[in-house]
Amino acid sequence: MPIRASDAQRDTFDLATPITRVRSVGTRSSARLAKLGIKSVRQLLWHLPARYEDYSLAVPIADVIPGQKQSIQGEVISIVSRHIWPKRLTITTATLRDDSGAIRAVWFNQPYLEETLTEGTLLSVAGKMVLDKRGLYISNPIYEKITPAKTADAGQLQHTGRLIPIYPETEGVTSKYLRFLIQPLLENLALPDPLPAAIRRQYDLTDLTDAIRTIHYPDTEEAVPAARDRLAFDDLLLLQLKALRERRQMNRLRSVRIPMDAPYMRTLVATLPFTLTKDQRVATLEVLKDMERLYPMNRLMEGDVGSGKTVVAILVALHAAKVGHQTVLLAPTEVLALQHYHTLRTLAGPADIHTALLTGSTACIDDRVTTKVAAKRTVSTGQAHIIVGTHAVIRDDVRFKALALVVIDEQHRFGIEQRAALMKSDRHASGLVPHLLSMTATPIPRTLALTIFGDLDISIIREKPKGRQAIETSVVSSAQRPQVCDFIRQQVKAGRQAFVICPAIDPAAPIAPGTAPATGRQGRLSALWAQVKAVEEEYKRLSKEVFPDLKVAMLHGRMKPAQKQTVMREFKEGWHDILVSTSVIEVGVDIPNASIMVVEGADRFGLAQLHQFRGRVGRAEHQSYCFLFSTDDTTGNRRLQAMTKTDDGFLLAEQDMRIRGPGEFFGIKQSGLPDLTMAALANVDLIKKARTAARAIMKIDPDLKRNPLLAAQLESMRQFSHLE
Ligand code: ADP
Ligand code: MG
């Protein structure tokens, strides 16, 4: 159904109409609009205001108040421009009159106004009222003409006399211009509503046309949230429908069925050097049950740092290996991949199970270092059962003989395409799709996980292995530095080790992946250098001035992988007392003897990330400590205090999300979701509604035959995500 345009826009449009067909959009402006992502009428209408300027009360001229932003309406009784040459300034002054009085309106450098706002013009203007020695005037106001066809009463004013939308702008595209384009489209707007009426009624949702009208030109600010919710609901619903569909497709795919071998599992578990926690046992069982089915598992295992996710992954991999199936375990960093490989080798189970390691710089078969080519051959022949690796496994297009299970550790550090690349069945000689187990130490609220990652199953490991002591955490001011240093020395003398984490020195640079908008390669590189610089300086300070008597080592992202490995290995073996590092040690690294975690500039990190750092210590029987040095002794400090009060990662993640918003939270920003939807991700209630609605729709109309508009939107969303 077309949008019937107003008198001003004589042509008719539908949502797909290219923006270039809208009157008064030329090639220049369409290029500028494209920068805001506006290429069609739909995108124009969905370009939502960031806020509103309240000019709703047009006051009689006699009642204006100096210093306030107000709107008035009157007739132009005179208008003149003056040039002030030395300042290259033109000042245009109009006198406006209504029944109650007269006032000056003053514009700068807009001499053409003299021509357009001639005497007798009826004007609505809005701006700041200013008092000078000649009396009151309105400074540089937005203005628009009132004509018989365009009056305040009919709600046709674009810039004055009501709540005025202020849009996200870009060079050459002002809010005024956007209002000029959008407002005429709203007048006779009749958008087809993709939501089934029953759903709209059930969840008390505004009709689409009303929502779009209201969000651009609300009668009151109070009317905005309902409109915003309605629009966000649409996106959330689509995300849910997409997830349900993908699940349905997944369930049609075929994977290897691996019947559970309980006696074998019992013997494996019995060889572990510790007893599994209940949560670990439940998670293992859930995974094994999933793998018994014909279609691929899609499970997310969430567990706080140190909760012992790795062993669960290794157990299920060994279980699959017993019957000749391959597992690949992917880690986001070289250091972590090596550690996992080491863990795997110590638990490797029966001697007839073979393993391979494959990273950017290292390759192993079982306990032998070898060439990448040789390692890859063991993968493609099926000789290696469990393959541990980094992105190199994806990049190098490794082929598998019988890949049954993909485990992705710290899954948010991998892109969707990378995951998809591994899951493609044509990479595997078997032609079957492997099962997928993703792991994360970032405790994602369940609703959020379901929304962004689709309809997956979730295992949560909340319980920590027994005997873990709480880590004593304190926020430290610079005055207490000497005491902390003494304390570190004591601990080292007692045989312990310490980590020192530094943020980047450059205050403008991002700190670590996922915490700040590292834009582009250049941004990432400069951020990396800033970190390296910070680490090198801290290393110098600590090794020369503070702890000349102790062995200090450093680790940063510019070191060669082989160097990094050496440093990590030496640290693990106890050759160094203190390791100064960038946030590269954030994920996973396991040094049981380390009992101290010092974070410099702690206020520069998010709570969830600090919690990750803290999780690097307290991994063995030693009482462990975390010292957060804050450069900011006030507000940041208050946020950091939360760290001293709880060691529940789920709780801290929730606080983090509340403070920084879900968008800032572990890279959802890169997902390409519209801002509105992003904000709605914090709205659990709305997500739940969308979820139930999606299920209801899929139940009665699984192919969306009766909801063609939803089907079309889903299709365009699919294309959109494929483009990325
Ligand atoms: P994460 O969940 O952070 O990846 P890891 O899997 O690295 O945690 O495990 C952290 C440490 O806890 C490892 O040293 C591991 O051997 C140990 N661990 C795992 N499970 C248990 C358990 N049930 N009892 C004692 N120690 C355990
Ligand atoms: Mg881990």
Percent of the chain that is helix, strand, coil (3-state, to 5): 45, 20, 35
Indicate the pairing of strand 403-408 with strand 497-501.
Answer: unpaired
Question: Does the pLDDT value for residue 6 go beyond 50?
Answer: no
Q: State the distance from the centre of ligand 1 to the C-alpha of 220, rounded, in angstroms.
A: 55
- Identify the band that residue 517 occupies on the pLDDT scale cut at 50, 70 and 90: very low
Q: Answer for the pair 90, 65: CB distance below 8 angstroms, yes or no.
A: no
463 lines ligand 1 (CB under 6 A): no
Question: Does the pLDDT value for residue 237 go beyond 70?
Answer: yes
More confident residue, 666 or 110: 110
Three-class DSSP labels, 77-123: EEEEEEEEHHHCEEEEEEEEECCCCEEEEEEECCCCHHHHCCCCCEE
Residues 454-473: tens digit of each pLDDT: 678 889 898 888 777 789 99
pLDDT confidence of residue 188:
84
Q: Once rounded to an integer, what is the mean pLDDT over residues 346-374?
A: 90
Other beta carbons less than 10 A from residue 116's beta carbon: 11
- Identify the band that residue 7 occupies on the pLDDT scale cut at 50, 70 and 90: very low
Give the closest ligand to the alpha carbon of residue 307.
Answer: 1
Distance CA 515, CA 609 (A): 8
Give the closest ligand to the alpha carbon of residue 621.
Answer: 1
Closest ligand 1 atom to 309 CA: 2
Tokens of residue 666, six digits: 């572990």
Q: Answer for the pair 646, 655: CB distance below 8 angstroms, yes or no.
A: no
Give the closest ligand to the alpha carbon of residue 460.
Answer: 1
590 lines ligand 1 (CB under 6 A): yes
Q: Once rounded to an integer, what is the mean pLDDT over residues 481-495?
A: 93
Distance CA 368, CA 350 (A): 17
Q: Once rounded to an integer, what is the mean pLDDT over residues 11-39?
A: 83
Give the closest ligand to the alpha carbon of residue 413.
Answer: 2
Q: State the distance from the centre of ligand 1 to the C-alpha of 316, rounded, in angstroms.
A: 15
Question: Does the pLDDT value for residue 524 go beyond 70?
Answer: no
Tokens of residue 38, six digits: 């506006």
Q: Once rounded to an integer, what is the mean pLDDT over residues 606-614?
A: 85
Residues 159-170: tens digit of each pLDDT: 877 888 999 888
Closest ligand 1 atom to 311 CA: 6
Q: State the distance from the centre of ligand 1 to the C-alpha of 228, rounded, in angstroms.
A: 44
Instruction: Find how far residue 171's CA is from the centre of its chain.
Output: 26
**Which range in 156-160, 301-305, 548-552 is most confidently predicted, on average pLDDT?**
548-552
465 lines ligand 1 (CB under 6 A): yes
Ligand 1 binding pocket mutation candidate from 272, 302, 304, 311 (most atoms within 8 A of CB) = 311
pLDDT confidence of residue 696:
93
311 lines ligand 1 (CB under 6 A): yes
Closest ligand 1 atom to 615 CA: 3
Q: Helix H segments across 543-683?
A: 561-572, 607-614, 635-645, 649-664, 675-680
Distance CA 419, CA 614 (A): 28
The CA-CA-CA angle for residues 532, 584, 408, to 5°, reads 150
| Residue indicated by tokens 């009132």 | 146
Distance CA 113, CA 105 (A): 11
pLDDT confidence of residue 212:
96
Q: What is the dihedral of CA 341, 346, 349, 352, to 10 degrees?
A: 70
pLDDT confidence of residue 518:
37
Q: State the distance from the centre of ligand 1 to the C-alpha of 474, rounded, in angstroms.
A: 24
More confident residue, 87 or 548: 548
Mean of all residue pLDDT scores within the chain: 84
DSSP string, 41-64: HHHHHT---SEEEE---BPPGGG-
Question: Does the pLDDT value for residue 5 go beyond 70?
Answer: no
277 lines ligand 1 (CB under 6 A): yes
Distance CA 484, CA 606 (A): 23
Q: Answer for the pair 326, 398: CB distance below 8 angstroms, yes or no.
A: no
Closest ligand 1 atom to 303 CA: 2
Distance CA 239, CA 702 (A): 15
Residues 366-419: tens digit of each pLDDT: 999 999 999 999 999 999 999 999 988 888 778 899 899 999 998 777 776 777
Q: Once rounded to an integer, what is the mean pLDDT over residues 481-496?
A: 93
Q: State the distance from the centre of ligand 1 to the C-alpha of 309, rounded, in angstroms.
A: 7
DSSP string, 281-338: HHHHHHHHHHTTSSS--EEEEEE-TTS-HHHHHHHHHHHHHHTT-EEEEE-SSHHHHH
Query: Atom 24 in ligand 1: which residue has the minimum CA distance?
Result: 465
pLDDT confidence of residue 507:
38
Question: Does the pLDDT value for residue 522 go beyond 60?
Answer: no
Q: Which helix (H) or strand (E) holds 715?
A: helix 708-723
Question: Does the pLDDT value for residue 519 go beyond 70?
Answer: no
Closest ligand 1 atom to 343 CA: 16
309 lines ligand 1 (CB under 6 A): yes
Question: Does the pLDDT value for residue 276 go beyond 70?
Answer: yes
Residues 670-698: tens digit of each pLDDT: 555 667 777 777 777 888 899 899 999 99
The residue among 524, 520, 521 whose CA lies nearest residue 511 is 524
Distance CA 665, CA 451 (A): 14
276 lines ligand 1 (CB under 6 A): yes
503 lines ligand 1 (CB under 6 A): no
Question: Does the pLDDT value for residue 256 go beyond 80?
Answer: yes
Question: Terminus-to-terminus CA distance in the chain, angstroms?
Answer: 30
- Identify the band that residue 538 occupies on the pLDDT scale cut at 50, 70 and 90: confident
Torsion angles phi and psi, residue 234, rounded to 5: -55, -45
- Identify the band that residue 137 occupies on the pLDDT scale cut at 50, 70 and 90: very high
Residues 562-605: tens digit of each pLDDT: 888 888 889 989 999 999 988 766 555 678 899 999 998 888 88
Closest ligand 1 atom to 461 CA: 2
Is the Cα torsion angle 501, 504, 507, 512 positive or negative in sign? negative
The CA-CA-CA angle for residues 516, 540, 634, to 5°, reads 45
Indicate the pairing of strand 457-461 with strand 625-629.
Answer: unpaired
| Neighbouring-strand partners of residue 407 | 329, 437
| Percent of the chain predicted with pLDDT > 90 | 40
| Neighbouring-strand partners of residue 439 | 301
Distance CA 107, CA 658 (A): 43
Q: Once rounded to an integer, what is the mean pLDDT over residues 526-537?
A: 73
Query: Atom 19 in ligand 1: which residue has the minimum CA distance?
Result: 308
Question: Does the pLDDT value for residue 10 go beyond 50?
Answer: no
Query: Atom 16 in ligand 1: which residue has the minimum CA distance?
Result: 308
pLDDT confidence of residue 78:
93
Distance CA 60, CA 65 (A): 11
- Identify the band that residue 218 occupies on the pLDDT scale cut at 50, 70 and 90: very high
Closest ligand 1 atom to 620 CA: 14
pLDDT confidence of residue 134:
86
Distance CA 161, CA 140 (A): 16
Query: Atom 9 in ligand 1: which residue has the minimum CA distance?
Result: 308
Q: Which helix (H) or strand (E) holds 475?
A: strand 472-476
pLDDT confidence of residue 513:
36
Helices 334-347 & 561-572, crossing angle to 10 degrees?
A: 50
Q: What is the dihedral of CA 95, 97, 100, 106, to 10 degrees?
A: -30
591 lines ligand 1 (CB under 6 A): no
Residues 280-303: tens digit of each pLDDT: 999 999 999 999 999 999 899 998
Q: Once rounded to an integer, what is the mean pLDDT over residues 322-345?
A: 92
| Percent of the chain predicted with pLDDT > 70 | 86
Q: State the distance from the centre of ligand 2 to the C-alpha of 209, rounded, in angstroms.
A: 48
Burial 326-341 (b: 16+ CB within 10 A, else e): bbbbbbbbbbbbbbbb
Give the closest ligand to the alpha carbon of residue 347.
Answer: 1
Query: Atom 17 in ligand 1: which residue has the minimum CA distance?
Result: 308
Q: State the distance from the centre of ligand 2 to the C-alpha of 627, rounded, in angstroms.
A: 22
Is the Cα torsion angle 303, 305, 307, 309 positive or negative in sign? positive
Give the closest ligand to the alpha carbon of residue 410.
Answer: 2
What lies within 8 Å, CB to CB, of 711 at 6+ separation is: 703, 704, 705
pLDDT confidence of residue 634:
60
